[in-house]
Amino acid sequence: MNASSETNPGPELASWRDTATRRAIIDFVAAVTEGPSPVPLPDRVAVFDNDGTLWTEKPMPTQLHYIVRTWAATAKADPSLADTQPYRAAVTGDLSWLAGAVDKHYAGDDADLRVMIGALVGATDQMTVEAYEASVSAFLSEASHPTLRRPYRDAVYQPMLELLQYLEAHGFTCYIVSGGDRDFMRPITVDYYGIPAERVVGSALGLEYDAEANEVRHRASFDFMNDGPEKPVRIWTRIGRRPILAVGNSNGDVPMLRYALGSPLGLSLLIHHDDDAREDTAYDRGAEDALAAAPKEGFTLVSVKDDWSSVFRNPVVGGAGEA
């Protein structure tokens, strides 16, 4: 794992309480590595959702915070946009429409999400991939989580960092498989999680090669949304192996979690955000179907409240994420 020293969690799974969930993880890894039929190293593949799984996604996903800033700047340059969504939400600071669009997506209605995507691809049209990467990196270097009041790199879940390192210490190759934009995540995944850019599988904006400038640029189009049933497809096309461990937190992760359980030793973890004291926001919205399906499907629930002794990396004493 190519993690920096700041991601080193110390003792194995130190922020996981000694619960049935922690024991299920340890027993799974023991079966994979020490059992009568150990899984070959190339097949020890683990996939993790990002928003709400590796870092916080409330009150809005981090990428949406970045996009809102971009839309506000666009509307400032062209005031005629200020009365139309999603620019109106960005200009007024009333993000309820944006939150509603995300909730409607999880409920199967993508009408407002398509409006958001249209504005997104327009904002990046003809931008080189390097320029987009630099813009994202600049945003994440100075932006803070809007309610936790901490840098985004410290809105990462410490128990999940420990799980990533624990798995890689036992021969696993870990991938991020997210509905978020692949190229938004890539600039920070080594620093935040120790996962290199080539192991990031996400949604994708349209790209094209500009032969005259010898550049890869964004187009005003959307390639695919890596969510729901698209996740197993993208896992296979990018990795070429069925994962034996999957971790997610929302309805859109159910196919990925189910896919991992198709392996003889498969384990799927579903993060349940049930701790509003330490995480600032407890919620089931967007995960109702996943939570209801968990007992039947065999997903192992991870309770933020009961299974994690601490929540965030570098917790502020007396602040959110403290035990």
Domain boundary among 142, 172, 196: 142
Domain enclosing residue 238, as ranges:
5-57+149-307
The alpha helices in 197-246, defined as continuous H runs, are 230-239
Q: What is the dihedral of CA 50, 175, 198, 209, to 10 degrees?
A: -60
From the list 186, 183, 181, 208, the residue with the least C-alpha distance to 197 is 186
- Examine the domain organization and report whether 243 and 122 are in the same domain: no
Domain boundary among 108, 127, 142: 142
CATH code for the domain of 175:
3.40.50.1000
Q: Which pTM value belongs to this model? A: 0.88
pLDDT-wise least confident of 70-79, 179-188, 191-200, 212-221:
70-79
323 lies in some domain: no
User: Mean pLDDT over all residues of the chain?
Assistant: 90
- Examine the domain organization and report whether 276 and 137 are in the same domain: no
From the list 182, 186, 302, the residue with the least C-alpha distance to 249 is 302
Q: How many domains does the chain have?
A: 2
Whether residue 316 is predicted with pLDDT greater than 80 in this model: the reply is no
- Examine the domain organization and report whether 114 and 127 are in the same domain: yes
- Examine the domain organization and report whether 119 and 263 are in the same domain: no
- Examine the domain organization and report whether 230 and 135 are in the same domain: no
> What would the pLDDT profile of 62-118 be if each residue is shown by its tens digit?
988 898 888 898 889 999 988 888 898 889 888 788 878 877 877 788 888 888 878
Burial of 80 (0-12, 13-18, 19+ CB in 10 A): exposed
31 in Cβ contact with 224 (< 8 Å): no
Q: Is the dihedral of CA 271, 238, 173, 42 positive or negative?
A: positive
290 lies in some domain: yes
322 lies in some domain: no
176 lies in some domain: yes
pLDDT-wise least confident of 49-58, 179-188, 312-321:
312-321
74 lies in some domain: yes
Measure the CA–CA gap between 57 and 78, rounded to whole angstroms.
Answer: 30
318 lies in some domain: no
312 lies in some domain: no
Mean pLDDT over 229-242 rounds to: 97
From the list 128, 123, 126, 125, the residue with the least C-alpha distance to 63 is 123
316 lies in some domain: no
- Examine the domain organization and report whether 177 and 251 are in the same domain: yes
Whether residue 127 is predicted with pLDDT greater than 60 in this model: the reply is yes
Q: What is the pLDDT of residue 322?
A: 53
